[in-house]
Amino acid sequence: MKQLLRMWCRRLACVFKMPCRQSGSTRHQSPRLPHDRRTILAAAARWHHTAPESLKCAWQLHGDHLELRYANTLMRFDFVWLRDHCRSASCYNAKTNQRSLDTASVDLGIKPKAVRVDETTLFLTWPDGHVTRYGLEWLVKNSYEGQKQQVMHPRILWNAEIYRQAQVPSVDCRSFLETDEGLKEFLQNFLLYGIAFVENVTPTKEDTEILAERVSLIRETIYGRMWYFTSDFSRGDTAYTKLALDRHTDTTYFQEPCGIQVFHCLKHEGTGGRTLLVDGFYAAEQVLRQAPDQFELLSKVPLKHEYVENVGDCHNHMIGVGPVLNVYPWNNELYLIRYNNYDRAVINTVPYDVVHRWYAAHRTLTAELRRPENELWVKLKPGKALFIDNWRVLHGREAFTGYRQLCGCYLTRDDVLNTARLLGLQA
Ligand SMILES: C[N+](C)(C)CCCC[C@H](N)C(=O)O
Ligand SMILES: O=C(O)CCC(=O)C(=O)O
Ligand SMILES: [Fe+2]
């Protein structure tokens, strides 16, 4: 055994000295490891630099990972990860952008036999002789540490004043339908603010459908594909009345709430009926600032929302489960708010003491959502279609009188983001 170790040490020492220069001054202690591995790595755990004069890149091999410093980012890569993401022709099909490597065939104890870094590229040689190369820029972009520093979805959080000051223009229907620039401008506004308007739309259901299809696939639901609605109580929901509706997001009772809601008011002869819009992420951000523990609770406690309908021929029972605030765990970035006090179901997913703290947190969020300065009121008119990010922006409406007809649809979020990415936007 001892002899084997000595041999290993010699091999490692030689492998690691060869291509890269060592820096004597930046020696780091190797992490705690089982006895034999520690001995082996005593020789390996040193910083190596691409060139003595340019210290742009340095790397160090540890017992179970590779540490790499490049472009001011300190990254740590698991060896299996490094083998799994190999972009060589036999591991990755560049035509389809799909992995060909069978990850299950990678030894979970795998370690590179040799490591080398030049100005632009990391080279790893595996025990079977296979060579993996990674561009250093690619690693920065794709490492956990690199991701952590970025946001997935750049946004501008707003209250009424911020939104008005921004003077976000509505896009003309023609340019939206006929030019990529028009569509791109619309989508950019939509991604940044979570709402966007199209003007000069012919006020029919068919024309609204054409708009929707320019951006995405329409998500057919229990309400149909394209829907019309008036205050005729044709469905068992308050939306189909003349009553006011407090701010909420829709379809919280779906396991995946609809991504986008399109509204186009085709007719209103009467008073009231203005639409209320509130940036849920702006409000949540205020909660995070004031009471981070409440923000966390809202992002951890799972809740049910439910839609039970028995009106006429419509019989539905939908249940969706998830927290009010949904965040990406690696950077705490919000991506979905599920907020509908009408459709919130019985809370039976948490014990009483957590429930009480949850109510307090919900109250803090509600107070933020209800601040008058956060409310954007608009009157929807025939010809002006509104797209709402239903994962972010809450909507509501004022009570109204007279005949009012709205048409619209839900869109699948993936397909909206797909369109945006194809136009070169970060989505
Ligand atoms: C939009 N449209 C009228 C079709 C449906 C309304 C659904 C209303 C429901 N309470 C929810 O918030 O999901
Ligand atoms: O009538 C409105 O303006 C909106 C009603 C509503 O919340 C909905 O249909 O989702
Ligand atoms: Fe709604």
From 406, 407, 409, mutation site for ligand 2 pocket: most ligand atoms within 8 A of C-beta: 406
- CB of 248 closer than 6 angstroms to any ligand 1 atom: yes
Average pLDDT, the chain: 90
Whether residue 42 is found in the same domain as residue 15: yes
Whether residue 21 is found in the same domain as residue 64: yes
- CB of 50 closer than 6 angstroms to any ligand 1 atom: no
Other beta carbons less than 10 A from residue 329's beta carbon: 7
- CB of 328 closer than 6 angstroms to any ligand 1 atom: no
Burial class (CB in 10 A: 0-12, 13-18, 19+), 105: exposed
Contacts of residue 126, Cβ cutoff 8 Å, sequence gap at least 6: 83, 110, 112, 113, 132
Within a domain: residue 24?
yes
- CB of 233 closer than 6 angstroms to any ligand 1 atom: no
- CB of 237 closer than 6 angstroms to any ligand 1 atom: yes
Record the pTM. Answer: 0.88
Whether residue 391 is found in the same domain as residue 348: yes
Which ligand has its closest atom nearest to the C-alpha of 307? 1
Percent of the chain with pLDDT over 90: 86
CA 91 to chain centre: 28
pLDDT of residue 56: 84
Q: How many helices (H) and strands (E) does the chain have?
A: 13, 25
Residue 20 reports pLDDT greater than 60 = no
Ligand 1 centroid to Cα of residue 355, in Å, is 27
Q: In terms of pLDDT, which residue wins out, 44 or 12?
A: 44
Residue 359 reports pLDDT greater than 50 = yes
Domain edge (last residue) among 146, 174, 205: 146
CA–CA distance from 272 to each of 78, 268, 275, 278 (Å)?
60, 9, 9, 18
Whether the Cβ atoms of residue 282 and residue 155 lie closer than 8 Å to each other: no
For residue 270, the enclosing domain spans 160-422
| Identity of the residue numbered 93 | N
Whether residue 60 is found in the same domain as residue 118: yes
Whether residue 176 is found in the same domain as residue 140: no
Confidence band of 269 (pLDDT split at 50, 70, 90): very high
Whichever domain contains 46, its CATH number is: 3.30.2020.30
Domain edge (last residue) among 115, 146, 177: 146
Whether the Cβ atoms of residue 94 and residue 87 lie closer than 8 Å to each other: yes
* CA-245 nearest atom, ligand 2: 7
Residue 37 reports pLDDT greater than 80 = no
**DSSP labels, 105-129:** GS-TT---SEEEE-SSEEEEE-TTS
H helix runs in 18-74, sequence order: 35-42
Ligand 3 centroid to Cα of residue 241, in Å, is 12
Whether residue 324 is found in the same domain as residue 188: yes
Ligand 2 centroid to Cα of residue 275, in Å, is 8
Whether residue 175 is found in the same domain as residue 121: no
H helix runs in 216-328, sequence order: 280-290, 292-300
Give me the mean pLDDT over the 268-292 stretch: 98
Ligand 2 centroid to Cα of residue 233, in Å, is 13
Contacts of residue 339, Cβ cutoff 8 Å, sequence gap at least 6: 247, 248, 249, 252, 280, 324, 365, 369, 394
H helix runs in 18-78, sequence order: 35-42
- CB of 390 closer than 6 angstroms to any ligand 1 atom: no
Tokens for 56, please give them. 């742009």
**Which of 19-33, 81-95, 194-208, 242-256 is the least confident region?**
19-33
Ligand 3 centroid to Cα of residue 357, in Å, is 27
Whether residue 204 is found in the same domain as residue 329: yes
Question: In this structure, are strands 195-199 and 171-172 parallel, antiparallel, or unpaired?
Answer: parallel
- From CA 45, how far away is CA 29, in angstroms rounded? 7
Burial class (CB in 10 A: 0-12, 13-18, 19+), 101: middle
- CB of 263 closer than 6 angstroms to any ligand 1 atom: no
pLDDT of residue 425: 98
Confidence band of 22 (pLDDT split at 50, 70, 90): very low
- CB of 275 closer than 6 angstroms to any ligand 2 atom: yes
- CB of 239 closer than 6 angstroms to any ligand 1 atom: yes
pLDDT of residue 47: 87
Rg (the chain; Cα; Å): 28
Whether residue 130 is found in the same domain as residue 181: no
Within a domain: residue 399?
yes
* CA-397 nearest atom, ligand 2: 3
* CA-250 nearest atom, ligand 2: 10
Confidence band of 52 (pLDDT split at 50, 70, 90): low
Residue pLDDT, tens place only, 102-148: 999 999 999 999 999 999 999 999 999 999 999 999 999 999 999 99
Tokens for 189, please give them. 């506004």
CA–CA distance from 163 to each of 166, 275, 279, 375, 386 (Å)?
5, 15, 10, 10, 15
Within a domain: residue 155?
no
Residue pLDDT, tens place only, 204-249: 999 999 999 999 999 999 999 999 999 999 999 999 999 999 999 9
Domains in the chain, number = 2
Within a domain: residue 153?
no
Within a domain: residue 427?
no
Whether residue 73 is found in the same domain as residue 221: no
pLDDT of residue 8: 36
CA–CA distance from 335 to each of 196, 324, 338, 387, 388 (Å)?
18, 11, 10, 17, 14
Within a domain: residue 154?
no
Ligand 1 centroid to Cα of residue 50, in Å, is 59
| Identity of the residue numbered 45 | A
- CB of 228 closer than 6 angstroms to any ligand 1 atom: no
Which ligand has its closest atom nearest to the C-alpha of 398? 2
CA 405 to chain centre: 34
Ligand 1 centroid to Cα of residue 119, in Å, is 56
Other beta carbons less than 10 A from residue 312's beta carbon: 10
Whether residue 207 is found in the same domain as residue 265: yes
Whether residue 80 is found in the same domain as residue 7: yes
CA-nearest of 238, 211, 213, 209 to 226 is 209
- From CA 366, how far away is CA 11, in angstroms rounded? 64
